[in-house]
Structure 1
Amino acid sequence: MEIFSAPIAAAMQRYSDDEVTPFHTPGHKQGRGAHELLRRLLTAEGLRQEVSLMDELDDLHAPHACIRDAQQLAARLWHADECLFMVNGTTSAIQAMMLGTLRDGDQIIIPRNAHRSVLSGLTLSGAVPIFLPVEFDAASNLPLNVTPETVRRAIELYPASKAVLLVSPNYYGVAADVRKISNIVHAAGMLLLVDEAHGAHLPFSNEVPPSAMEAGADAAALSTHKILGSLTQTSMLMLKCSADVERIKRAASLLQTTSPNQLLLASLDIARLQMQTDGRRLIQRAIDLSRRLRLAVNNLRGLKIFDVKNFSLDPTKVTVNVLGLGLTGHAAEEILRRRHLVQCELSDAANVLFLVTYADCDATISKLIEALSRLPSREPKNFLPPITATDITAASLSPRKIFAAPTETVALANAANRICAEEVTFYPPGIPLILPGEKISAATIDILRREKFSRIIGAHDPTLATVRVLQNFS
């Protein structure tokens, strides 16, 4: 390795030099959609402004001036009572709303396909998860969302729970009925928390699902960098007064650096300004472009656009099923990137996901359509693994206790009735078969040994010959 090189900067430069057309985060799409104020910050002039800890630049941990004002403006725009700017991503926003809401031993109802930041939030708070089954689409193996009926049943089974956490919309744009679920949750005296990482743009159009704050959530974590124009790593935590706002603020302060980068904070403020002044037009442009893409792709041989009937869907998340071409999603991603300089957000065994944002234009959409039309065709083949149905389940131990407990690695064949100390998730569909704290059943072992899957997440042993379990606990 050359000591006089900068590997990270060099890798960034190589990607930029490839002139790839991005259909992935961040939402500003390599600066094309960046507000002029943000462009100015990322220059030599902006570097002169990159200072911190000056009184006139305020204090993120005790905002009383410009940061306070910027957060209040954002809260008003996103229909919240309070807003906290987060510089450690939506991960820290989710952790803060959980740590500020839950106490050691509290139960919280969460979907099985929650982001790993939720699991870390459980570890920090000491809460015990009640796992909800997630509906899925049989044709694509894509996770849909949880239903109000499932939430109601979980509350009946675990009435002492303190809160319900939703992921809405999910990675593929599928939203839960947050308004109906909010009514159910609040009637039971619980709080509703929402991982809205993929929904920062929802308040700016009536053609997308309603935002969590508008639908009655008590707290919601937003990744403003994913679809909107703030810098990667920046997020907002929206709060209603029904939540313990002061405790959540203390939790956020525990989780954030005492030296936040002022450029990151400014990018959040500028993203709010951009949506305040032009949000509805910009989001409508993204919706119109995504509809053009959807219509064109559905007319291409072997390709099918993912759509849903019983859930709301954000149209700017365009998922293309490529099984009709005899390709896996992974193969299609590789071909698009290497041959056509088009980069998707992600791929799986059957699908490729593209993010359309306000930074796109007719030219980028045309390039994507042309690239998709040139994908090679092979003999159609079903690469989809089977979906294993799950029910509402409670963890045997809290993730905090599991994190602190001694563990050991055992052969999978000998793991029956042991308490799992790691997550085992098959992707697709991205729904964990087993999570930390759950007891490993003989049926689970049979599935793990029998089925072949495209990708395994969470397990220390990718072959699944062994699994990590708690010592002296069964």
Structure 2
Amino acid sequence: MQDKIYGKIPLLDSLRKYSIKDITCFDVPGHVRNRGVKILNEYFGDDIMNMDINSSPRMDNVSNPQSIIKEAEALLAKAYKSKNAFFITNGTTQAIHAMILATINPGDKVLLPRNIHKSVINALILSGGQPIFIQPEFCDDLGISLNIDHYKVKDIIDKIEDIKAIFLLNPTYYGMCCDLKEIIDICSEKNILVLVDEAHGAHFPFNDELPVSAMELGAHMSAVSIHKTGGALTQASALLINENIDASKVKQIINMLQSTSASYLLMASIDGARHNLVENGQGQLLNALKLSRYAKSRINKVNNIKVISKELIGNKGVSYLDETKLCINVKKLNLTGFEVYDLLYKEFDIQPEMADLYNILALVSIGTTKEDIDKLINALEIISTISSKNQITKNIKIKQIKPIVKLNPREAFYSNKENVILSDCVDRVCGESIMAYPPGIPIIAPGELITKEIIDYIKLLKDNNAYLCDMNDKNLETILVIS
């Protein structure tokens, strides 16, 4: 690799310079650059092995950054229009845990939608916070949750006292955005903190045609998966904070959760991705938007397939929409989304982001090409032709599940439990999380009442080969319940 020196990429630039210096290493990692494990060199290359280093006086320390990491985080904060930004190397899961632990004490009430990621439930187990669920709007045609209606937020916080914070998923996995500004204004009147899981919106600040980011709208904290839509390496995320949040406490919490040997490859990839988004994001994301619109226009001409887009804007819970996410509705094919997902992967070497019973989700990003889009279109055309010969009509009805919280998640987690046969669990209190992954939204979480409706939905997902995870019984013949 030819050595290139870039301006304003302090960590990536310094890491590259350090990796090519003739330094005799008696520190970790034990592979000692490119010397110790030749098979890793053969697969990863010398450059990656030489840049896999540990903290040192020359390279700063993420636990208490004083030089190049401090500068890189300041540039990240500037790019995201936040007061502070912190490198996170264990994904947005860790950022969400830090966000909750820095603001929520045991017993504090948190208002949140039920279509949140499992990391939020786990953060409540860690913090002892008390969830108050608000149902997101639901689209029967798509079979998915949309986002939160701000009128519902106002109604709840007017009725329930002492809500400490609201936690929002914005955008949803399918790109649906609530009226975040209105919710922030409503919560401001009650001194309620606004925390945002913006994992799938890391690209928002870098193109004018995308929804406005949480930081720009005045949210107190947000977590962004820079690896998801910003171009960094997998697990590379950031935690962003605005005014009225104690940065020193946030840093203390991050240091409790994050490894003291945080990966320099991941941190440097955040630095490089940030630089690229600032320098090239406007054009790259405009190209992604054009490709997404082209894909929609073509796929919507395929028999029995429809791509959902801006026509949803204006519905309750959808004030804005991220067009780079292609929610492809396939239920009229007489195939489930899981089946189409498998066909795309096995027969066409196409990897969608995720699937559910009605849809597949394809992400159009800064690295997507027109050739990629055309390959997807052609595959869907073939699948549509094949499925038209299928005489079996699948009559799958999806309803929104409305869980009943019986115990605080932390209390449920630490309660005594027993395994009970699936069909015998009705009216028992769940002691574990069960979910389809991706996206990792719990079907049932610790402390919630197990109803017949939930059992039926679990059976429906099992029968349609959804990838279910996190449960104690990997075959899901039993559920862990409070004894």
Same fold (TM over 0.5): yes
Q: Note closer, same or farther for the CA distance 1:400–1:428 as it changes in structure 2 (3 Å cut).
A: closer
Q: Does 1:226 align with 2:228?
A: yes
Structure 1 distance, partners of 2:473, 2:270, is 39
Distance 1:450 1:366 in 2: 35
Report the CA distance shift for 1:457/1:51 in structure 2 as closer, same or farther (over 3 A).
closer
1:403 equivalent in alignment to 2:413: yes
Aligned to 2:359: 351
Change (3 A) 1:157 1:459: farther
Which residue does 1:335 correspond to in 2? 343
Whether 2:326 is the aligned partner of 1:318: answer: yes
1:453 equivalent in alignment to 2:460: yes
Partner Cα separation in structure 1 for residue 275 and residue 441 of structure 2: 37
| Equivalent in the alignment of 1:130 | 132
Matched, 1:100 2:65: no
Shift of 1:70: 0.5
**Matched residue SS, 1:55:** coil
Match of 1:370 among 367, 378, 384: 378
Q: TM-score, normalised by structure 1?
A: 0.84
| 2:62 aligned partner, one-letter code | L
SS in 1 for 2:273: helix
Q: Distance in 1 between matches of 2:289 and 2:86?
A: 28
Classify 1:69/1:435 alpha carbon distance in 2 versus 1 (closer, same or farther; 3 Å). same
Aligned partners of 1:385 and 1:453 also within 8 Å: no
1:306 counterpart residue number: 308
Contact 1:119 1:399 in 2 (8 A): yes
Residue 404 of structure 1 aligns to which amino acid in structure 2? Y
- Structure with bigger RCO (C-alpha 8 Å, 6+ apart): 1
Q: What residue number does 1:9 align with?
A: none
Give the letter aligned to residue 319 of structure 1. Answer: C
Give the drift of 1:47. 2.8
- Report sequence identity in percent: 35
User: Following the alignment from structure 1 to structure 2, what is the Cα–Cα distance between the partners of residues 414 and 327?
Assistant: 31
C-alpha distance in 2 between matches for 1:137 and 1:462: 30
Task: Give the whole-Å Cα distance in 2 for the aligned partners of 1:414 and 1:369.
Answer: 45
Alpha-carbon distance in structure 1 between the residues aligned to 2:77 and 2:208: 19
Using the alignment, how far apart are the partners of 1:269 and 1:429 within structure 2? 27
Matched, 1:216 2:218: yes
CA distance in 2, matches of 1:243, 1:266: 26
Structure-1 residue corresponding to 2:297: 295
1:91 corresponds in structure 2 to 93
Q: Shift in Å at residue 115 of structure 1?
A: 0.4
CA shift at 1:83, angstroms? 0.1
**Under a length normalisation based on structure 2, what TM-score does the superposition of the two structures give?**
0.83
Aligned residue for 1:213, secondary structure, equals helix
Cα distance in 2 for residues equivalent to 1:324 and 1:79: 43
1:90, distance to aligned residue in structure 2 (A): 0.5
Residue 340 (structure 1) shift: 1.7
2:214 partner SS: coil
Q: Distance in 1 between matches of 2:344 and 2:429?
A: 42
My pick for the range that moved more, 377-386 or 154-163, is 377-386
Letter in 2 for 1:364: D
For the 8 Å contact 1:348–1:427, the answer to whether it is kept is: no
Deviates more, 1:444-453 or 1:68-77: 444-453
Could you tell me which residue of structure 2 aligns to residue 423 of structure 1? 433
Equivalent position amino acid for 1:367 in 2:
K
1:158 lines up with 2:160 in the alignment: yes
- Once the two structures are superposed, residues 102-140 of structure 1 have per-residue CA deviations (whole angstroms, 9 ceiling, x without a partner) of 111111111111101101111111111111112111111
Please say if residues 117 and 440 of structure 2, whose CA atoms lie closer than 8 Å, have aligned partners that are also in contact: no
Q: Against the structure 1 CA distance between its residues 418 and 355, is the aligned structure 2 distance closer, same or farther, given a 3 Å change threshold?
A: same
The equivalent of 1:62 in structure 2 is: 64
1:390 match: 402
Q: CA deviation at 1:231?
A: 0.4
Q: Following TM superposition, by how much is the alpha carbon of 1:77 offset from its aligned partner in structure 2, in angstroms? A: 0.9
Shift of 1:431: 6.3
Cα distance in 2 between the residues matched to 1:336 and 1:453 = 22
Question: In 2, Cα distance between the equivalents of 1:379 and 1:248?
Answer: 57
Deviation at 1:198, TM superposition (A): 0.2
Cα RMSD between the aligned structures?
2.6
Structure 1 residue 418, shift from structure 2 partner: 3.7
Aligned-pair distance for 1:415? 4.6
Q: SS in structure 2 opposite 1:293?
A: helix
Q: Return the offset for 1:186.
A: 1.5
- Residues 386 and 325 of structure 1: is their aligned pair in 2 closer, same or farther, counting only changes over 3 Å? closer
Q: Runs of 5+ in structure 2 lacking a partner?
A: 1-11, 20-43
CA contact (8 A) 1:52 1:261 kept: yes
1:426-454 per-residue CA deviation (whole Å, 9 max, x = no partner) reads 789986554322344xxx23652588512
Is the partner of 1:386 in helix, strand or coil? coil
Kindly provide the amino acid, as one letter, of the partner of residue 452 in structure 2. I
**Is the CA contact 2:118–2:442 (under 8 Å) kept in the aligned structure 1?**
no
CA contact (8 A) 2:110 2:166 kept: yes
Count of residue pairs brought into register by the alignment: 431
1:462–1:285: structure 2 CA closer, same or farther, 3 Å change rule? same
Change in 2 beyond 3 A, CA 1:192/1:386: same
Counterpart-to-counterpart distance in 2, 1:413 and 1:347: 26
Q: What's 2:84 paired with?
A: 82
* CA–CA separation in structure 2 for the residues paired with 1:382 and 1:434: 25
Structure 1: 5+ residue stretches without partners: 1-35
SS class of match (1:453): helix
